[in-house]
């Protein structure tokens, strides 16, 4: 019997994603973002989080999903991975659930729009909820981004 | 006991002691007769040994122990300092340094030092003037008894001893050495004390009884003892205990006790006066014996806390993790942001009391800001102090004579700058000694004194710190530099013909450029001045060379006081705000569209008689809502990198401000033209422009 983990649940479009709660520093409402020129299009800029300057990524843009207007529900999830502090812009974030590791399955090759390598797995909760667990180190892997950009550009 | 919590303290203090050892050794080398310096060295070595032993770093402890043995002979006038002793001791210090480094890096501080240890032991064996007397001393020292030589009587204890003598008791000075393989030395020591206390009274012991109980001693201790029994009897009694290596009990009489009292009062200087050394029978030797054996001990006891002998008195400081200061800074900038917000609100509310309070808060937080800044300031001394030793070794290996004169070592700089500046300075100093200062014969031939002088100066000027390295060597001949540059293909002959001296000097900073004809061991290994220049530029500073051929060269390094706060000009481009460091701004102005010309497709601007490029920030940064080309008049900021100028087109000037520099975090890739970010009074983040990026 594997242990339970706590997972922050957020939405991009209609899909639900999960990040382990230990990796999340805080969840903030939308705030003014200072654009940083000459960088990847999905890096929206930097914010002032209580005196610390933190870069912010639009997670839709990162996964190649069409970007959406920000609403009252839009949140910035500040994560701390590999000593990097980064904010993710997500459509909404309003749930914390307990998840048993056992119910996380190996992800299929493609889920929604995003590549399998960004995923740790997919968890089926209840009858009709699918939770996509993110592999944050991969999402923040920069060497791969350079390739991505050069392919696109 | 968990030693880890003491480890960082141990490392810090060891480094302090190593530094002091290095400095004192240098002092002693300049002044070999000054035994008070030997005392300082001995104490440092001794403390180091004690700390290392407590922390369980046996190799460190045993090497320092061997050093002590040598030093002990020197301070007792049994050994005169000579070149090879200096060299061996310096080598020992180097070995200690690398051990401490190893410990710092998480190692166990192990090192193979058998070669050094055996030469230290050879010195102890070979250089003793009178073999008979000294051998006793040496074995005593070698058996780990050096620490025992540290008993200092205060007035009260002295008078107790004196009275006991008058009343016909025996006063003994007892030195006990416990065998090294003893498992429970504290217990052994306890048995000695127990035994002694059955037939007398221990007046004073070193180390103190508490320390001995906690095993805070090496394998020996000394004490003053009042009894009715004879010295020889006591000696026999103690020796009867097992695991006792050696015991010396010396009976003191009125005369010798008085002598010790005088010694107690005597100044440090007396230690240097040669004392006749006779560790002979107590009765016959009378005055001489106790005085000579006790004398240095007092010196130790007295000066240990105060660090005599020219060493600076310990300042009352605490060590703080630099990260905590960063946190403090972050919190503080938040406070400043709130303050600005409060000031805005107060001016809207128009309440007299509120305005007054907010103003007062403003003043207090201003003072606070100053203090927080000052917390990060460290004297350059922390970098400079390793240079004398380096120059000494360098001069020796190059067979040159060099004096290093340091001035302004108390000049303070931000910790972040200090941490970075060491390597470039090492390089410049090596360069000065290797390339600058001539060999002794050349100097004499040139009519100079055979000893070259290197000045290392630090001073404040405005918002900058200058560090100058100036030598009186052969100087740099611009012609030679140019010739060498042409030969290497760095420039053409035509270019060389038109270059000024200053431009020629700047060539020295080009990658892969070295004027040295012979690649020496010291410099010229491919790491050139270009690395120095790059490092200093990355710190926001620059290097200038002034040289008089035949007379010497001066490398002047200009550095910002701090890396974390700069004065900057805030500018607006559309809806975005940027900060430009004031230090690189030459001037600001307004130009008309008609003044902008196009040369080879580049937009240029006439500025004080020459043409400089006009850089469009709005294009480079793809600013969404501003483009200066649609405007009739454009505000410009002229920035400088070295001699070159560039005009940056902006929309508006907001004003000058002190800004706290923040980095953009690990995730963001290097952004061209942006060197960092800052948080403005309204909480918004503004990016800091790196003017150097626009000047190629």
Residue A44 has a pLDDT of 92
**3-state SS track over B225-244:** EEECCCHHHHHHHHHHCCCE
DSSP string, B176-204: EEE-TT-S-HHHHHHHHHHHHHHSEEEEE
B670 interaction partners in chain A (CB closer than 8 Å): none
**pLDDT-derived band at B291, boundaries 50, 70, 90:** very low
A47 interface with B at CB cutoff 8 Å:
yes
Lowest model confidence (mean pLDDT) among B15-29, B558-572, B675-689: B558-572
Helix, strand, coil share of chain B (percent; to 5)? 50, 25, 30
**B632-637 long-range contacts, CB within 8 A, separation 24+:** B632/B592, B632/B593, B633/B590, B633/B591, B633/B592, B633/B593, B634/B590, B634/B591, B634/B593, B634/B596, B635/B571, B635/B588, B635/B589, B635/B590, B636/B588, B636/B589, B636/B590, B636/B591, B636/B605, B637/B569, B637/B571, B637/B580, B637/B585, B637/B588
Buried b (16+ CB within 10 A) or exposed e, B239-255: eeeeebbbbbbbbbbee
Lowest model confidence (mean pLDDT) among B13-17, B278-282, B338-342: B278-282
Between B634 and B124, the higher pLDDT residue = B634
Residue A19 has a pLDDT of 92
CA B466 to the chain's CA centroid: 18
604-663 of B, contacting A, C-beta below 8 A: 620-623, 662-663
What is d(CA B198, CA B440) in angstroms, rounded to the nearest whole number?
69
Mean pLDDT for B138-149 is 38
Q: Is the pLDDT of residue B311 over 60?
A: no
Q: What angle do CA A82, A86, A87 make, to 5 degrees?
A: 145
List the single residue in A38, A47, A83 with the smallest CB-CB distance to B671: A38
Residue B527 has a pLDDT of 52
* Contact flag A36-B687 (C-beta cutoff 8 Å): yes
569-598 of B, contacting A, C-beta below 8 A: 576
Q: How confident is the model over B448-470, as pLDDT tens digits?
A: 888 889 999 998 877 688 999 99
Residue B260 has a pLDDT of 59
Residue B644 has a pLDDT of 82
Q: Is the pLDDT of residue B500 over 60?
A: yes
Residue A143 has a pLDDT of 64
Residue B301 has a pLDDT of 36
Mean pLDDT for A64-87 is 88
149-188 of B, contacting A, C-beta below 8 A: none
Residue B367 has a pLDDT of 85
B174 — phi, psi (to 5°)?
Answer: -115, 130
DSSP character at residue B143: I
Residue closest to B384 by CA, chosen among B469, B294, B296:
B469
A34 interaction partners in chain B (CB closer than 8 Å): 576, 677, 684-687
Q: Is the pLDDT of residue B365 over 90?
A: no
Residues in chain B, total: 696
* Contact flag A36-B576 (C-beta cutoff 8 Å): no
Domain residue ranges of chain A, discontinuous segments joined by +: 4-152
Between B525 and B564, the higher pLDDT residue = B564
Q: What angle do CA B490, B495, B497 make, to 5 degrees?
A: 120
B337 to chain A: closest CA residue: A51
Tell me how close the Cα of A102 comes to any Cα of chain B, in angstroms. 32
B686 interface with A at CB cutoff 8 Å:
yes
Lowest model confidence (mean pLDDT) among A89-98, B140-149, B484-493: B140-149
Residues in chain A, total: 153
Q: How confident is the model over B542-565, as pLDDT tens digits?
A: 888 888 888 888 999 988 777 667
Residue B457 has a pLDDT of 92
- Express as a percent the part of chain A with pLDDT over 70: 84
Map tokens 């070698």 to a residue: B142
Q: Is the pLDDT of residue A146 over 60?
A: no
**pLDDT-derived band at B520, boundaries 50, 70, 90:** very low
**pLDDT-derived band at B653, boundaries 50, 70, 90:** very high
Mean pLDDT of chain B, nearest integer: 77
Between B314 and B105, the higher pLDDT residue = B105
My answer on whether omega of the bond before B203 falls inside 30° of 0, hence cis, is no
- The helix/strand/coil state of B378 is strand
Residue B454 has a pLDDT of 92
Residue B156 has a pLDDT of 67
A49 interaction partners in chain B (CB closer than 8 Å): none
Q: Is the pLDDT of residue A4 over 50?
A: yes
A54 interface with B at CB cutoff 8 Å:
yes
Q: Answer yes or no: CATH 3.90.550.10 is held by domain A4-152.
A: no
Mean pLDDT for B186-215 is 78
**pLDDT-derived band at B522, boundaries 50, 70, 90:** very low
Q: Is the pLDDT of residue B245 over 50?
A: yes
A39 interaction partners in chain B (CB closer than 8 Å): 668-669, 671
**pLDDT-derived band at B599, boundaries 50, 70, 90:** confident
* Contact flag B687-A34 (C-beta cutoff 8 Å): yes
A54 interaction partners in chain B (CB closer than 8 Å): 665
What is d(CA B146, CA B209) in angstroms, rounded to the nearest whole number?
18
Catalytic machinery residues of B: 46, 68, 431
Kind of pairing between the strands at B542-548 and B451-461: unpaired
Residue B312 has a pLDDT of 47
What is d(CA A60, CA A67) in angstroms, rounded to the nearest whole number?
6
- Express as a percent the part of chain B with pLDDT over 70: 83
Sign, CA dihedral B122-B126-B131-B134, equals: negative
Mean pLDDT for B124-146 is 42
Residue B469 has a pLDDT of 92
User: Bridge partners of B607?
Assistant: B610
């Amino acid at each position: 019997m594997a242990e339970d983990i706590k997972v922050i649940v957020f939405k991009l479009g209609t899909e639900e994603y999960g990040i382990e709660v230990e990796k999340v520093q805080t969840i903030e409402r939308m705030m003014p973002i200072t654009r940083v020129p000459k960088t990847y299009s999905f890096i929206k800029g930097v914010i002032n989080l209580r005196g610390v300057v933190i870069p912010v990524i639009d997670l839709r843009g990162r996964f190649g999903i069409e970007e959406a207007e920000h609403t009252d529900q839009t949140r910035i999830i500040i994560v701390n991975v590999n000593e990097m502090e980064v904010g993710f812009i997500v459509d909404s974030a309003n749930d914390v659930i307990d998840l048993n590791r056992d119910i996380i399955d190996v992800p299929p090759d493609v889920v929604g729009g995003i590549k399998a390598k960004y995923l740790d797995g997919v968890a089926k909760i209840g009858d009709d909820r699918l939770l996509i667990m993110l592999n944050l180190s991969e999402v923040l892997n920069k060497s791969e981004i350079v390739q991505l950009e050069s392919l696109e550009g | 006991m968990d030693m880890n919590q003491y480890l960082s303290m141990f490392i810090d203090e060891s480094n302090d002691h190593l530094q002091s050892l290095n400095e004192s050794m240098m002092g002693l080398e300049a002044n070999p007769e000054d035994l008070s310096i030997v005392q300082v060295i001995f104490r440092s070595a001794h403390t180091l040994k004690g700390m290392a032993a407590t922390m369980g770093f046996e190799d460190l402890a045993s090497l320092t122990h061997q050093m002590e043995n040598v030093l002990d002979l020197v301070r007792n006038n049994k050994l005169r300092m000579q070149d090879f002793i200096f060299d061996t001791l310096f080598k020992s210090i180097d070995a200690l340094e690398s051990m401490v480094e190893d410990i710092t890096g998480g190692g166990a501080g192990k090192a193979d030092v058998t070669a050094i240890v055996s030469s230290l032991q050879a010195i102890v064996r070979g250089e003793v003037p009178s073999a008979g007397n000294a051998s006793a001393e040496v074995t005593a020292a070698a058996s780990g008894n050096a620490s025992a030589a540290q008993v200092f009587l205060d007035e009260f204890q002295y008078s107790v001893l004196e009275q006991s003598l008058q009343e016909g008791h025996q006063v003994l000075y007892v030195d006990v050495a416990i065998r090294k393989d003893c498992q429970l030395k504290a217990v052994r020591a306890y048995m000695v004390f127990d035994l002694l206390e059955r037939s007398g009274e221990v007046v004073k012991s070193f180390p103190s009884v508490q320390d001995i109980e906690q095993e805070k001693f090496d394998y020996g201790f000394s004490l003053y003892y009042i009894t009715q029994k004879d010295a020889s009897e006591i000696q026999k009694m103690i020796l009867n205990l097992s695991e006792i290596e050696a015991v010396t009990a010396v009976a003191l009489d009125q005369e010798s006790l008085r002598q010790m009292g005088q010694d107690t009062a005597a100044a440090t200087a007396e230690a240097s006066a040669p004392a006749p050394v006779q560790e002979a029978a107590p009765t016959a030797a009378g005055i001489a014996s106790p005085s000579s054996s006790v004398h240095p001990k007092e010196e130790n006891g007295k000066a240990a806390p105060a660090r005599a002998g020219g060493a600076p008195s310990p300042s009352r400081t605490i060590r703080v993790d630099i990260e905590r200061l960063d946190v403090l800074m972050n919190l503080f900038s938040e406070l400043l942001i709130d303050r600005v917000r409060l000031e805005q609100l107060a001016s809207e509310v128009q309440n007299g009391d509120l305005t007054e309070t907010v103003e007062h808060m403003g003043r207090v937080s201003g003072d606070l800001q100053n203090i927080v800044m000052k917390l990060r300031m460290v004297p350059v001394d922390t970098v400079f102090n390793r240079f004398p030793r380096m120059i000494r070794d360098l001069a020796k290996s190059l067979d040159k004579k060099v004096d290093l004169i340091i001035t302004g070592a108390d000049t303070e700089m931000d910790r972040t700058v200090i941490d970075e500046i060491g390597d470039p300075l090492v390089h410049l100093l090596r360069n000065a000694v290797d390339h600058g200062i001539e060999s002794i014969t050349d100097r004499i031939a040139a009519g100079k004194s055979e000893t070259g002088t290197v000045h290392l100066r630090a001073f404040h000027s405005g918002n900058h710190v200058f560090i100058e390295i100036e030598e009186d060597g052969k100087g740099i001949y611009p012609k030679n530099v140019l010739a060498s540059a042409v030969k290497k293909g760095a420039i053409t002959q035509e270019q060389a013909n038109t270059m000024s001296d200053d431009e020629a000097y700047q060539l020295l900073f080009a990658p892969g450029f070295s004027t040295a004809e012979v690649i020496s061991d010291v410099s010229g290994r491919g790491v050139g001045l270009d690395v120095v220049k790059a490092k200093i530029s990355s710190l926001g500073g620059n290097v200038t060379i002034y040289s008089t051929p035949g007379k010497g060269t001066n490398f002047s390094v200009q550095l910002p006081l701090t890396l974390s706060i700069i004065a900057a000009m805030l500018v607006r481009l559309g809806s975005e705000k940027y900060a430009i460091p004031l230090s690189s701004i030459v001037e600001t102005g307004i130009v008309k569209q008609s003044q902008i010309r196009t040369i080879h497709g580049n937009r240029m601007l006439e500025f004080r008689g020459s043409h400089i490029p006009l850089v469009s920030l709005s294009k480079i940064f793809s600013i969404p809502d501003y483009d200066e080309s649609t405007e009739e008049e454009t505000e410009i900021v002229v920035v400088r990198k070295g001699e070159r100028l560039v005009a940056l087109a902006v929309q508006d000037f907001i004003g000058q401000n002190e800004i706290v520099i923040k980095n953009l975090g690990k995730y963001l890739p290097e952004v061209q033209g942006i060197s960092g970010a800052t948080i403005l009074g309204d909480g918004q983040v503004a990016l800091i422009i790196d003017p150097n990026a626009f000047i190629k």
